Structure 1
Amino acid sequence: MPSYNIWSRKSKRDHIGRSRSCFTSLKVEAHLILLLLMLCDNLWKTAECQCTLGNYLPTELRPGYRRDGDIMIGGLVTVETFYPYNHPSFSTVPPFVGLNFPVPLNYYNFLAFVSAVEEINNSSELLPNLTLGFHIENPYDNFFLMYRAAMNIFSGMDMGVPNYSCKTSGPLFAIIESLPPEHSSQLSSLSRIYHSPQISYTSGSVLMSNMAKFPYFYRTVPSELHICAGIVKLLKYFGWTWVGIIAFDDENSMRAVHILREGIEQSGGCIEFIEIFRQSRSFKLPNTDNIYNTFNTSSTKVIILYCNKDYREIIRHTLIWEAPGKVWIITEEWGFLFPSYNVDRKNTLAFAVAKKTIQSFHKFVREANPAIFPNDSFTDMWWNVLCNNQCPKSIQRSCNNDLFYYLHCDSINSGDSYNVYNAVYGLAHALHDMITSGSGNTTLWSGESDRYLDFLSWKLHHYLKNLHFKNVLGEEIFFDENGDLAVGYDIINVVILPDGTRIKEIVGSYNPYAPPEQEFTIYEEAIMWESTFNETPPEFRCSPSCPPGFRKLTREGQPVCCYDCIPCPEGEVSSQNDIDTCMKCPEDQWPNQKRDACIPKVISFLTYQEPLGITLTFICIFLILINTVILGIFFHYKDTPIVKANNRDLSYILLISLMLCFLCSLIFIGHPGKVTCILRQTAFGISFSIALSSILAKTITVVVAFHATKPGSMLRKWMGSRVSIYVVLFCSLIQTVLCLAWLFTAPPFPYLNMKSEIGTILTECNEGSIHAFYCVLGYMGFLAGISFIVAFLARNLPGRFNEAKYITFSMLVFCSVWISFIPTYLSTKGKYMVAVEIFAILASSAGLLGCIFFPKCYVILLRPERNRRKYFKKN
């Protein structure tokens, strides 16, 4: 087997001499042995496989690249590949002529693998006194050749034979690979048999984020589960709720599409269509036209393209990729590597693993000798391109050539070189931890070679799971519980102009391992959008966004993202866009005019500052002054016949009670408080009861006085002021008892009425017991009614100073006021209800005052000749 040495220095120690030996491995299961033997037999037509089968290798397949060491690691690094639409069958050798084409970026991965091993072997801290070897094979992204390359690595030969191992160096501990997802999962079944860790630096398959199913699988790229979550967050950030998905029908893409669909729907988005490209052996996919028709007639402008990067050439040649006016969200940066030059490509956002610049790797590429690597026409051209003066100075080589500028020259940091570095260094750190934890140092490795067997590859898993170190750039490297590297994605916006110029800008990032408020970032100002969009960022929805003050009403038979906007109902608001249901305002608040916010309700009560309050206060004071003047007149002319005729003591009591009635109306004005609410109705009820009792006593006095003058009347003994006073006290006492019972059972209290008027809080007094309130009013009505009846019956009694006529008219006014008061009171609210009650108190009191005392004052002041005993006897 050929062996290549790229190091001019001596190894860390002389290799332990050992003879070439072939021994049987009992680890390979029977069905796998039979399958691989069948393939071996079909391919190379040989009766038995042995260590010399390398002589039968087809000339088109380049042998693996190997360097012996104390510890060996395998590498499945794809440098050349085949078109995916021409995948050969599993059991046949693919035709090589004209079908393989170079992938420039992949050769950087190969060099990064070698460079990382070189740095580790030169290190005095990592794996001291040990040499790290490798065996790198090219799987060509082909199922069969992947198994062939894997068996070569496991057997230690260029022509791997199942169940055999030809060893010339240390044991194989792990394989680092760059296989497609479906190949990587197939390799895991083989790695599981050998208990060898498998580290991928390209596969982010969602299917392999399962340590129970793939216990030996690790990767230095994040799982595509995180891409799905990042896409959902990106859509939610921009408010794009109407999207389409295009994918290929491989297992990984289908699983990712399912996860994407769930995430989009849970975040409130909708998917207009999901179109699947079916794989085919031909260059043109069979259902491309149908997908294009769906794509072209759809209303959505946001397209999520989820597929393996191996299909990039097919996508690039389809019409959908050249359709303008669409925003593309892709899961690889590959879409920018081979642009369609007739398309002004903007609006493309890609999730890509962060690419880092490794200066030591750049130096290695700049100074390495290409002659020590396997050579062919492709690699010769690849190395010559680095001589172009348009290459970055960090990798530009000193040589002379006139080759055109090639794409790979400025793409050294666009491939997976950084991931390869992390894979090799991560494995080296895990090996270092395993060795030092078993012995405390590595000095025992300078002796007995058999001690290598004590450290079997399966022991390495414990150290890989707990791996945590800083790489060459000082970044923290560790695996999560699923064996995925705990890193995030950059969100890249690349603009491809018609002349092929590419402008690439990192416009955001998504790191699921960051704190919740820092896991997703986006820089809108850095994104370049097409000029055809009316707004930036554009808004893509099935229905326009519902502004605050409106809510969504889903259209019948359509997805939830297709809706109409209707105003929030009365009393409810929506303060954000696209609200499904409006929210009710708190009781002390009310929607503003736009119904997008709750504002405090206007607190309403009758105040002394407003015109209505001022007017009522002025009327009340004016009536009090008149009442006071009349009381003064009566007191001044207390000895005149007209004052004495109807019991002047009752007149004094009536005038004072009417004054109290006027005063109690002022308690109804102002902010209701606990004390004022109690005083309002009780003071009003008792004051009016005293006034009505006094009128009743006056009426009774008139009747008794008239009948007592008849000879032999028994009513003479009821004459006098004492009986009148008893009537007033008794009738007033009943009302007082009713009021006290009201206060002790259910007293009035301040109350904020938030429901009677829209947008207003009515500060009012709750009556406590409405029955008690109407009992008080009813009793006053009873007294008024008795007084009216008695006065009405006595109105025609003779006598110049017969008050029955005036009392009758005053009671008629009083009853009219309070009968009209009840329906008016019940039909009004808030301060107007209070104003109605104040008006009823003032009007009824003024009616009593005017009807009873104005005629007497007229006589006292203007007709004094009538206020004489002589005039009284004459009539």
Structure 2
Amino acid sequence: MKHHICFSVLGGALGFAVQKANISGLEDFLVRGFWETEFLCNGTNTEKSQKPCKANQDLVELSNNDDDVEELRYSTNIYKAVYAISHSLHRILKCSEGQACKKAVEIKPWEVVEALKYVNFTVKNGDRVWFDQTGAAVARYEVVNWQRGTDGSVQFRPVGYYDASLPSGKRFVLNTDAIMWPGGTKELPVSVCSESCRPGTHKVLQKGKPVCCFDCVPCPVGEFSNTTDSIDCKKCPEAYWSSQNRDACLPKEIEFLSFTEVMGKILIFFTLFGVVLTLIVATLFLVNKDTPLVKANNSELSFLLLFSLSLCFLCSLTFIGQPTEWSCMLRHTAFGITFVLCISCILGKTIVVLMAFKATLPGSNVMKWFGPAQQRLTVLFFTFIQVIICILWLTINPPFPLKNLQYYMEKIILECALGSPVGFWAVLGYVGFLALLCFVLAFLARKLPDTFNEAKHITFSMLIFCAVWITFIPAYVSSPGNLTVAVEIFAILASSYGILFCIFAPKCFILVVRPELNTKKHLLGKTQH
């Protein structure tokens, strides 16, 4: 009953025990003493008071005795200790084979202890006995496991050993397959409150419970842990982002409007399509340069306007691709200068319309003050002002490529910083000023009696231009990532297409579809009417 209760508590436990060893002759010696003690007999017949032991004594009456010679363990140490003392005495008494030991020698305890340091012998079972410099013997232990035998008895089964005399790495051996864990199972029991936290999580202690009880909480976005049972998570470096499992940091994805993505391809298509349309219009005007319609609409400014429009279309390509130091400086200055050149040509055409009406008044010679030379100078003057603004911008604080880490946490937006916002808004504001001036003058001249009044078309083109760029400002400020660049390209293309269609589409219609209207007689007829 006592063993049953003990096994219910300690069954399956592991422990270290002194190694069992077979001591030659010990069993016969113990059996003889056991026999004489239990049956109160004398095996040697030296004592007359006791009866001699019988060879066939009945052992049934001793069935409750649990002594087992095979389970004796510490007797091995006693056996070795006795032999060690014996070898020490032999050393002190200078005993050797063929010579008698010294007899009249007084042996002191410290001499025995000193002699033990030099003991080195092997017992009959093969174990070697010696002591190190600290006086300790070599540690040899068995790993035993409390198990229940087939007959229900408690047994201590060896499942491994520890031997300090063996090389490092081979001293401790454990046969896990032979272990019987509590409950009679072969499965390793869980000895903790919570399972280990995998990399990518960290431990959070459960309130009111022991420290071995915790929850595994995933690391927040942008943080990681790469060890098991981490107590906290570390932040990823600025240019890195945590992996999906939060167990490592990966370089952030770099985003910019590239030539290969769908948005970039669409914008490139409309850019090149606009250039092709502009070249077609220029070719059509060149073929019909001597016709009344082309001559009446100031062919020189028309060709210069078409050239500047093709540059406006092409400058949108500088906004696509990975921003560099040179591309950032080129994209905004090219946009500002080409659009000022374009608006200056339109402004020159508008002034020509006004001057032409004044010239038709009696006694007026105003056209001699705004002839072809003055028109070219006007275009160059307005464009030169924009060039000066751009040079100042690039000299003082030019645009530069910037890795924007603030807008998106998981990726880097590669964009062009404006450098000096004043420079950017000065360039854009100057274009807007010229467009507004051109719109006002064209609006005033829209009802003048001209043979083919361009002022109406210029008014519509400038109305579209101003509407596009007024809408662009809030869209540009609020657009995230590479959409900012896409919005700016859209504004460039939309305003360029607006100018091209509003000014040149009516003329091309007459040149291609209604050539009978492209006559001096028809134009003069309209004038008389």
The counterpart of 1:528, out of the listed 180, 190, 194, is 180
1:491–1:508 Cα contact (<8 Å) kept = yes
Equivalent residues in 2 for 1:130-149, closer than 5 Å: none
Equivalent residues in 2 for 1:575-724, closer than 5 Å: 578-593=229-244, 595=246, 598=249, 601-711=252-362, 713=364, 715-724=366-375
Q: Give the Å deviation of 1:638.
A: 2.1
Distance 1:423 1:683 in 2: 105
Structure 2 residue runs without a partner (length 5+): 39-54, 92-100
Equivalent residues in 2 for 1:426-825, closer than 5 Å: 478=132, 492-497=144-149, 499-500=152-153, 502=155, 504-506=157-159, 525=177, 527-530=179-182, 536-543=187-194, 545-546=196-197, 549-574=200-225, 578-593=229-244, 595=246, 598=249, 601-711=252-362, 713=364, 715-825=366-476
Distance 1:645 1:734 in 2: 29
Between the two proteins, the alignment pairs up a number of residues equal to: 492
Q: Does 1:845 align with 2:496?
A: yes
2:198–2:229 Cα contact (<8 Å) kept = yes
Distance 1:426 1:804 in 2: 128
Distance 1:754 1:735 in 2: 33
Alpha carbons of structure 1 residues 451 and 701: separation in structure 2 relative to 1, 3 Å: farther
Distance 1:354 1:769 in 2: 85
2:346–2:458 Cα contact (<8 Å) kept = yes
Distance 1:419 1:754 in 2: 77
Q: Which amino acid aligns with 2:14?
A: L
2:288–2:294 Cα contact (<8 Å) kept = yes
Q: Give the Å deviation of 1:499.
A: 1.6
Equivalent residues in 2 for 1:349-364, closer than 5 Å: 349-350=14-15, 352=16, 355=19, 362=22
Let me know the Cα RMSD of the aligned residues.
4.8
3-state secondary structure, aligned to 2:286:
helix
Equivalent residues in 2 for 1:180-199, closer than 5 Å: none
Distance 2:264 2:130 in 1: 76
Partner deviation per Cα, 1:564-586 (whole Å, 9 max, x = no partner): 44443333344555443233344
Q: Which amino acid aligns with 1:410?
A: E
Alpha carbons of structure 1 residues 539 and 459: separation in structure 2 relative to 1, 3 Å: closer
Q: Which amino acid aligns with 1:844?
A: S
Distance 1:825 1:518 in 2: 72
Q: Does 1:410 align with 2:70?
A: yes
Q: Does 1:366 align with 2:24?
A: yes
Partner deviation per Cα, 1:660-692 (whole Å, 9 max, x = no partner): 222222233334444433333232222222222
1:468–1:477 Cα contact (<8 Å) kept = yes
Distance 1:427 1:855 in 2: 129
Partner deviation per Cα, 1:576-619 (whole Å, 9 max, x = no partner): 55443233344454445554555554443333443333322222
Equivalent residues in 2 for 1:260-409, closer than 5 Å: 321-323=6-8, 345-346=11-12, 348-350=13-15, 352=16, 355=19, 362=22, 365-367=23-25, 377=33, 408-409=68-69
Distance 1:422 1:743 in 2: 96
Q: Give the Å deviation of 1:628.
A: 1.1
Structure 1 residue runs without a partner (length 5+): 1-315, 329-344, 383-398, 433-445
Q: What's the TM-score once normalised by structure 1's chain length?
A: 0.47
| Equivalent in the alignment of 1:437 | none
Q: Does 1:829 align with 2:480?
A: yes
Distance 2:514 2:245 in 1: 69
3-state secondary structure, aligned to 1:851:
helix
Distance 1:675 1:521 in 2: 70
Alpha carbons of structure 1 residues 474 and 765: separation in structure 2 relative to 1, 3 Å: farther
Q: Which amino acid aligns with 1:349?
A: L
- Calculate percent identity across the aligned residue pairs: 39
Q: Give the Å deviation of 1:637.
A: 2.0
| Greater mean deviation of Cα atoms: 750-759 or 643-652 | 750-759
Alpha carbons of structure 1 residues 452 and 682: separation in structure 2 relative to 1, 3 Å: farther
Alpha carbons of structure 1 residues 700 and 409: separation in structure 2 relative to 1, 3 Å: farther
3-state secondary structure, aligned to 2:482:
helix
Distance 1:826 1:427 in 2: 100
| Equivalent in the alignment of 2:46 | none
Q: Which amino acid aligns with 2:310?
A: M
